[in-house]
Structure 1
Amino acid sequence: MLRRIYLLALAAVLALQPASAMHIMEGFLPLRWCLLWLLISLPFVLLSYRYVARQIKATPRMRSTFALSAAFVFILSALKMPSVAGSSSHLTGTTFGTLAVGPMALPLVGTIVLLFQALLLAHGGISTLGANIFSLSIAGPFVAYALYRGLGRLGLGQRLTIFVATFCGSMATYIATSFQLALAYPDPVGGILGAAWKFLGIFAITQVPLSILEGVMTVLVIGLLAQSGQSLLLQQSPAAPRRSGVRRPQLILLGVLGLVCLALPILTNFFDIGTGTDDQAGEMIGQIAPHFQEQPFWEGFDPGDGEAYLFALQVAIGIALFVWGLRKYLHSRKQEEA
């Protein structure tokens, strides 16, 4: 009963409002490019749904692992952080799920998160949904997974491997975004590559310190779970806890980290963290194509000063989903050990 109430409440939240602005804002891409990226991304989303369904059917514990992966994206993608050159941007959170469920699970996760942010937070877009799915949920996760597997064969330490995979996966998301905009708005002099360098100057450079932070957070969370006997990495058997109380310190640290993540969006309401990279991208498009005019699929609402609290709500939902997923995971582990 409680599960049904939770799912109904989540569905109600998802349906609250229409909007516009995550990696590429509503109206930033011409219609033909919106359709192209949608056609590219849609098969991945459909295959992702089938992949997740098969994984859950084959291994019931995957249901909770998938919930944990989605929760991590919900939490980290809501963190708008200050970066270099007076700008701010978001973390992605996709590598955790990539390593726990597999990269094919992320197109479905990313679609859920991007729809949530577009419909409720005026962050992202409906017409640009296909483009944002590709950058966030396809390019980033597959780059991260390829590096994780490749570096793993070299015998590097697991923490370093996870960190590098996370860093590069996060960077790949924003590099893909830069080229998506460059293809739609080639520079009059430098062409597509010239425009790409300009957009990379906005997205990629800004993302370097945030990708480092995301790498540290991903290693930390996976490490804390592993220390408590809950290894969620794909193709790695979970280790049994040595004693019943071994989980408590790690879970307390996870709780503290969750509270910090919950506080960060609210703090942005009181401190200037710089102009968002999406706004800077709009200015760059105006410089490259002076006759550019935004063509939103629909007019969204402006959350104004309430944006920070809406992002905090997203973090809170992510935390609730993470707690639910972890409890389900621990329960399934106990059943398997019984």
Structure 2
Amino acid sequence: MKHRRSWSTALLVIGLTLYLAVNEPQTAYAMHIMEGFLPWGWALFWWILFVPFFIFGLRALIRITKETPELKIMLGLAGAFTFVLSALKIPSVTGSSSHPTGTGLGAVMFGPLPMSVLGSIVLLFQAVLLAHGGLTTLGANAFSMAVAGPIIGYAVYKGMMKSTRKQKLSIFAAAALADLSTYVITSLQLALAFPAEHGGVLASFAKFGGIFAVTQIPLAISEGLLTVLIWNWMQAHNSEELSVLQRRMKGAKQS
């Protein structure tokens, strides 16, 4: 049964990857900040801010794979979910586009640090293979989607579990707010780099945030619902691995 559940999860990962291959998105003005768009000073600033999270995330991933190697397939699922969702571009206003992020699921499962690695790898592949984002702006994109989003999503999940103890509602809120917070941070990054002539950073932040709010709010709600559906699927087919995850999270909290 255990091998059957592992194969079932592996097939889901493969299916998500094939879905992306068949429905490859077209190049668009996307929420990933494009190559060369940020001034060098700001691009370097976000790289410096991102790198420590990546290093701690690597240490967390190494610890997970050594202590619980049976969770490797679940790490693959979290990465594939992020890859597929964040590559799906949906047209927004002014010729731009919005997209889900997919980082809330991994943050709930493993905490925010591993997602700093998984999310940045996803962004690297998208920049190189799909022309979404860029290498100079990878630090900024990774900080917003792979660092800030998972941290906020994980904090929301833990806070709601303590107050309401309703897991499905907590997972929905974590995924939705991890998505929305990514766009808030990206809007702030753009506002800091390009303050408005009248109103400065705040006016620019309102402009960039408003561009994507129309499509991103319903996208965040949809991502929250989809994440709950994936969680239900894992409970049905990978309950043993989820039990290992929960025991591991409780042990990390106690230590």
Please tell me the TM-score bracket, short chain as reference.
0.7 to 0.9
Q: What is residue 236 of structure 1 aligned with on the other side? A: 246
Query: Residue 88 of structure 1: CA displacement?
Result: 3.3
Q: Name the structure 1 match of 2:68.
A: 59
Q: Is the 8 A contact 1:73 1:113 kept in 2?
A: yes
- Structure 2 counterpart of 1:203, from 212, 224, 244: 212
Give the alignment of 1:76-225 within 5 angstroms: 76-82=85-91, 88-225=97-234
Higher-Rg member (1/2)? 1
Query: Do the aligned partners of residues 87 and 111 (structure 1) sit closer, same or farther apart at CA in structure 2, a change above 3 Å counting?
Result: closer
On the 8 A contact 1:22/1:117 being kept in 2, the answer is no
Shift of 1:62: 2.5
Contact 2:97 2:212 in 1 (8 A): no
Contact 1:81 1:89 in 2 (8 A): yes
Change in Cα spacing, 1:227 to 1:83, as seen in structure 2 (3 Å) is farther
Distance across 2 between alignment mates of 1:85 and 1:128: 22
Distance 2:163 2:229 in 1: 22
How far does residue 227 in structure 1 lie from its aligned partner after superposition?
A: 2.5
Q: Which runs of 4+ in 1 moved over 6 A?
A: none
Kept after mapping to 1: 8 A contact 2:195/2:204:
yes
1:132, distance to aligned residue in structure 2 (A): 0.3
Instruction: State whether residues 100 and 234 of structure 1, in contact with CA within 8 Å, keep that contact through their aligned partners in structure 2.
Output: no
| Higher normalized contact order (CA 8 Å, seq sep 6+, divided by chain length) | 1
CA distance in structure 2 between the aligned counterparts of 1:208 and 1:147, rounded to whole angstroms: 17
| Structure 2 residue 36 is the aligned partner of structure 1 residue 27 | yes
Q: Secondary structure at the match of 1:236?
A: helix
- Contact map agreement 2:108 2:174 (CA 8 A) in 1: no
Q: What's the offset of the Cα at 1:43? A: 1.0
Q: Is the 8 A contact 1:48 1:105 kept in 2?
A: yes
Alignment of 1:38 onto 2:47? yes
SS at match of 1:116: helix
Q: How many residues align?
A: 221
Compare the two structures and name the one with the higher helix fraction.
2
What secondary structure is seen at the aligned counterpart in 2 of 1:138? helix
Q: Percent identity?
A: 49
| Separation in structure 2 between the aligned mates of residue 88 and residue 24 of structure 1, nearest angstrom | 11
CA RMSD of aligned residues (A): 2.4
Distance 1:199 1:138, change over 3 A: same
Q: Assess if the C-alpha contact under 8 Å between 1:100 and 1:233 holds in 2.
A: no
Secondary structure, counterpart of 1:232 in structure 2: helix
Further displaced range: 26-35 or 204-213: 204-213
TM-score (norm 2): 0.80
| Distance in 1 of aligned mates of 2:196 and 2:168 | 41
1:131 Cα offset (Å)? 0.2
